[in-house]
Amino acid sequence: MEEDYVFKIVVIGDSAVGKTQLLGRFTRDEFCFDSKSTIGIEFQTRTVDIARKRVKAQIWDTAGQERYRAVTSAYYRGALGAMLVYDITKRHTFEHAARWVHELRAHADKSIVVMLIGNKADLGVDGGRAVDAGEAAAFAEEQGLFFSEASALSGENVERAFLRLLEEIHANVSRKSLETEDEVAVNGREYGAVDVLMLKGTKLSLSEEMSIMETSAIRRASRCSCS
């Protein structure tokens, strides 16, 4: 079935916080114990139903290593949502969240929806927690972010967090459509306001997707295979 929307989402945060694992859990319901660090950019997709609309989430996994920051910054363009991930067992990954927010605000659209995710919540029950959930929630409120803790390993709250992000993006797009003219002409054809939003960059053509995949030979050298 054809999608009504394609929403670009970027997953950001320090290296080794579990960004790729969260993405794998949401898109394929998999967890790879021998996962390699992401190098450069890659993306995965999943289509869901939001408010009776078919929404394709095109989720970009960005490397957290410093040497790739200049490369990944270009990929914020056109993103409607972001997952900012930290590891609840490593305090410095949470302390770096403010820097990631600053970078996101500098490169992304001002209306981007951001979800702060404290990953590895399963490790917090045995005394491994280094970041209190209340502290993270307060930071999220201060920065205007949504917040949730999750576990890519167990799958707890992963689906809920991604769906909440997609719902908020859809609400944003719907509000924008109401703020524009009901019908506008594009290349001689009449399009509704929501269609125009898609034409302006929230949807990538197949050729664009293939080009991105090809230029991402900066991708990690080997990808884990999960049964």
Q: What is the CA radius of gyration of the chain?
A: 18
Query: For residue 54, what pLDDT is reported?
Result: 95
Edge-to-edge strands of the sheet including 53-62?
Answer: 41-50, 53-62, 5-12, 81-87, 113-119, 146-149
Mean pLDDT, the chain, whole residue set: 79
Q: Which CATH number fits domain 5-215: 3.30.1490.190, 3.40.50.1100, 2.40.110.10, 3.40.50.300?
A: 3.40.50.300
pLDDT in tens, 119-134: 999 998 777 899 999 9
pTM score, whole prediction: 0.77
pLDDT in tens, 62-83: 766 655 666 566 778 899 999 9
Is the distance from CB of 60 to CB of 43 less than 8 angstroms?
Answer: yes
pLDDT in tens, 185-218: 444 444 344 443 443 333 443 344 434 444 443 3
- Chain-centroid distance, C-alpha 204: 16
Q: Given a cut of 90, is residue 56 above it in pLDDT?
A: yes
Quote the percentage of the chain above a pLDDT of 70.
70
Both tokens of 75, joined, read 């990929």
Give residue 35's pLDDT band: very low, low, confident or very high (50, 70, 90): low
Separation between Cα atoms, residue 163 and residue 27, nearest integer Å: 12
**Residues 6+ positions from 115 with CB-CB distance below 8 Å:** 81, 82, 83, 84, 145, 146, 147, 148, 161, 164, 165
